[in-house]
Structure 1
Amino acid sequence: MTINIKKSLLALAGALVLSGGAQAADLDSVVKGDHRSEETSARDQYRHPVETLKFIGIKPEMTVVEITPGGGWYTEILGPYLSEKGKLYAAHFPEDSESDYYQRSLKRFKEKLASDEKAYKRIVVTEFSPQTGREIAPAASADAVVTFRNVHNWMYRGYEDKAFASFFAALKPGGVLGVVEHRAKPGTSMEEMIKSGYVTQDYVIAVAKKAGFELEESSEVNANPKDTARHPKGVWTLPPSLRLGDEDKEKYLAIGESDRMTLRFRKPKP
């Protein structure tokens, strides 16, 4: 009975946050909010959103930039959490992209934001396009930049250095960069990293330092010791992609999502 009462109170708190009835969003309540579907929240056990965002240091009054939010998994949390006192720049795919996939993804994301104007009222959609040098947010305006499982995509296209440089430009001096990425075993070659989607922690740190960041701390909150990082279809073998379909499906479901590094960097103050 006590557990059910506790869940009801958390759901009520989440509803108040989303309706603008709370003065300051509570991260735990937002994550448990009714606006999140069962399919979405099922990933929490692998992605640990509360622990991850607390480790990075995200506060409800911050100006945050989320890089390539895709379908908005983390936006569902960041949007409501920042909706009263903060601001979220969602640096999505460019509107003038020739990619049909990019266009469809951006369209679905904007429809998502329009579906709940209160929860997403302080979100500004910008563009992430390192190759063109477009701003993801006004220079030196952001308290934090966050990116989840994206670095391998930039490596495939060869613009990871430009990506991290754009993060550095958007952050205020003293601002924080949070990076979550699929983790390759030390010594993995560049070719294998690009092919598998797993990246060595040392490489991510090196790219960030090249852009001017200082590594502040690493966390094992998203570690998965069951993941060998060596699969027939790379990281996409595991859920949620399950690229092999029904082949060995139960085996990969038992592993869960990938082993991931979680890193917090800082833009130095002058």
Structure 2
Amino acid sequence: MMKYIFAALLAGGLATACTTPPTTDDSTALAPVEAPATDVSVAKFSYASVFGKDDRPAADYEQYEVRKSEDVLIFTGILPGMTVLDLEAGGGTYTELFSRVVGDSGRVYMQNPPAFDAFLGDSVSQRVDGRLANVTPLRTPFDDLSAIPDGSVDVATWLLGPHELWYTPEGAEPGDLGDPDTTFAEIARVIKPGGHFVVLDHMAPVGAPATTGGETHRIDKAIIISMAEANGFTLSEESDLLANADDDGSLNVFDPAIRRKTNRFLLKFTKG
């Protein structure tokens, strides 16, 4: 079981980090980037341009088709000059893409909880150090985003991760990853009015309790919608890009019978 979790984390799917930010103390608030106004729209930006072969980990390219990463990237609406929060970024497969989209005038926060340190080894430092100058790693629980100024984030993403709020990693204490209510309040705090919160996760059976997240690594999307709305977000867009009607939601997502084929929901919320 643990080897499957490890593999998913290395791919940036379930999340964690392993290194202290090279340029900032976790406890020190970071000044927002003053990004210039841009006329670039989602329709005009060439998202395909950030998938070219370069010095990124070779494993990234193996993930893109499976994850439908270009379509997910388009759905996020991230554009040059934006400030992005990549929650539970794992080894940074999507962090890399976000970094290349926002460019020199943008910024990406690559957040991972300390409780997952053992899963990723030095993969975060290998991803960022000497490579992605616009990426700031944050090694904090989900409910502590204090390094990020109020209302400074254009888009926050949590890809294959919200269910982790009800998961306790081996060797950790319950709640080490963060308190669910405080986490959603923190996400709302850092996103600017009109900004977006994009969530992708494995669907649990309708009506399943939140604790399912710690058992099968799934969550009923109604729970996420309810928590987001309670913190000032409105569901503005939903995609069936990664839906699979043949998955009844009963199996653990790492079960070979369903792994990489789970029914996944993809939601975009707008902060009021």
Q: In the alignment, residue 87 of structure 2 is paired with which amino acid?
A: I
* Residue 53 of structure 2: aligned partner: 33
Q: In the alignment, residue 141 of structure 2 is paired with which amino acid?
A: S
Would the aligned equivalents of 2:247 and 2:263 in 1 still touch at CA under 8 Å?
A: yes
Among residues 184, 195, 198, which one is paired with 2:215 in the alignment?
195
* Residue 54 of structure 1: aligned partner: 74
Which has a greater percent of helix? 1
Secondary structure at the counterpart of residue 186 of structure 1: coil
Q: How far apart in 2 are the matches of 1:43 and 1:226?
A: 22
- What's the C-alpha RMSD, in Å, of the aligned pairs? 2.4
* Residue 76 of structure 1: aligned partner: 96
Secondary structure at the counterpart of residue 51 of structure 1: helix
Post-superposition shift, 1:226?
A: 3.6
Deviations 1:175-234 (A, max 9, x none): 110111111121223343431111111111011111221111111112123433222xx1
Post-superposition shift, 1:166?
A: 1.1
Post-superposition shift, 1:38?
A: 4.7
**TM-score of the two chains, using structure 1 as the length reference:** 0.73
Q: Which has the higher contact order (CA 8 A, sep 6+)?
A: 2
Q: Which has the larger radius of gyration?
A: 1
Would the aligned equivalents of 2:153 and 2:195 in 1 still touch at CA under 8 Å?
A: yes
* Residue 125 of structure 2: aligned partner: 110
* Residue 141 of structure 2: aligned partner: 129
Secondary structure at the counterpart of residue 81 of structure 2: coil
Deviations 1:19-46 (A, max 9, x none): xxxxx98421212333345532222233
Q: How far apart in 1 are the matches of 2:99 and 2:193?
A: 24
Q: How far apart in 2 are the matches of 1:54 and 1:148?
A: 14
Matches within 5 A, 1:1-270: 26-94=46-114, 99=115, 101-102=116-117, 105=120, 107-116=122-131, 120-131=132-143, 133-156=144-167, 157=175, 159-231=179-251, 234-238=252-256, 251-252=257-258, 256-268=260-272
Identity %: 25
> Which ranges of structure 1 fall in alignment gaps of 5 or more residues?
1-23, 239-250
Q: How far apart in 1 are the matches of 2:211 and 2:197?
A: 26
Secondary structure at the counterpart of residue 93 of structure 2: coil
| Cα 1:106–1:216 shift into 2, 3 Å | farther
Q: How far apart in 2 are the matches of 1:30 and 1:265?
A: 25
Q: How far apart in 2 are the matches of 1:82 and 1:153?
A: 27
Deviations 1:34-66 (A, max 9, x none): 334553222223322221121221112211111
**TM-score of the two chains, using structure 2 as the length reference:** 0.72
Would the aligned equivalents of 1:89 and 1:125 in 2 still touch at CA under 8 Å?
A: yes
Aligned residue pair count: 220
Deviations 1:82-114 (A, max 9, x none): 2233211112234xxxx4x41663742022211
Post-superposition shift, 1:129?
A: 2.0
Q: How far apart in 2 are the matches of 1:136 and 1:236?
A: 33
